[in-house]
């Protein structure tokens, strides 16, 4: 019997080693799967929030177009738009709760700066602010806030590579006609005696 003790000990050690290795492998696989689920959930939350906020901004810009602000298209009557913007804000606020639950601190702060910048654009759309230069500045600030949110959301999701090109607004092509008109006016003024 004592001769079989080393063989029995070898079997016990082998079984214990096999159990530990299998347990660690399964634990690692479970953690990896959990991390993937949370990454997917964060992506869904960030995308849903961004879409809700973009919808709200679109309504505000359309209302701004009706008020005559530059670089805004597809005018929407402000009275009609007001009801839509209230509904869009309610959707954004509901999506915001998910961002607060799942986002990292820096991405949450960037999301907050973005929706506050959209609210500032809304003040012009609602007729509470009237300065066309202020409108342009508010929309540019909103565009920068959006870019910052996307950059931090991509980092939180572990997306490598450069961020997408800036959505700086108004876009360069929107100023081309203004520059051409100014050049034509200057040429016409120079041609006058």
pLDDT at 42: 95
Residue 107 has pLDDT above 90, yes or no: yes
pLDDT at 71: 79
Residue 57 has pLDDT above 80, yes or no: yes
Place of tokens 């607060």: 100
Which of the pair, 71 or 52, is modelled with greater confidence? 52
Contacts of 124 (CB under 8 A, 6+ apart): 60, 64, 67, 69, 130, 134, 135, 138
For residue 159, count other CB atoms closer than 10 A to its CB. 13
Q: Of 32-36, 90-94, 101-105, 161-165, give the lowest mean pLDDT range.
A: 32-36
Report the chain's mean pLDDT, rounded to a whole number.
Answer: 84
Which residue from 51, 179, 28 is spatially nearest to 111, judged by alpha carbons? 51
Which residue from 155, 162, 46, 158 is spatially nearest to 96, judged by alpha carbons? 46
Contact present, 153 and 109 (Cβ < 8 Å): no
pLDDT at 68: 94
Q: What is the pLDDT of residues 135-159, one digit of tens each?
A: 999 999 999 999 999 999 999 999 9
State what percent of residues in the chain have pLDDT above 70.
72
Place of tokens 């991509």: 154
The one-character DSSP state at 159 is -
pLDDT at 184: 58
pLDDT at 72: 82
């Amino acid at each position: 019997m004592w001769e079989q003790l080393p063989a029995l000990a070898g079997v016990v050690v082998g079984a214990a080693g096999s159990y530990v290795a299998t347990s660690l492998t399964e634990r690692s696989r479970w953690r990896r799967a959990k991390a993937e689920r949370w990454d997917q959930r964060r992506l869904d939350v960030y995308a849903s929030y961004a879409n809700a906020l973009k919808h709200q901004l679109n309504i505000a810009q359309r209302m701004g177009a009706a008020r005559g602000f530059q670089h805004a298209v597809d005018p929407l009557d402000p009275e009609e738009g007001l009801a839509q913007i209230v509904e869009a804000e309610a959707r954004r606020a509901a999506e915001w709760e998910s961002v607060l639950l799942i986002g990292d601190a820096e991405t949450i702060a960037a999301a907050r700066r973005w929706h506050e910048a959209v609210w500032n654009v809304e003040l012009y759309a609602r007729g509470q602010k009237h300065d066309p230069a202020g409108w342009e500045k508010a929309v540019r600030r909103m565009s920068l806030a959006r870019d910052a949110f996307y950059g931090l959301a991509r980092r939180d999701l572990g997306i490598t590579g450069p961020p997408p090109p800036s959505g700086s607004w108004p876009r360069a092509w929107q100023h081309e006609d203004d520059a051409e008109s100014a050049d034509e006016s200057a040429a016409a003024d120079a041609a006058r005696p």
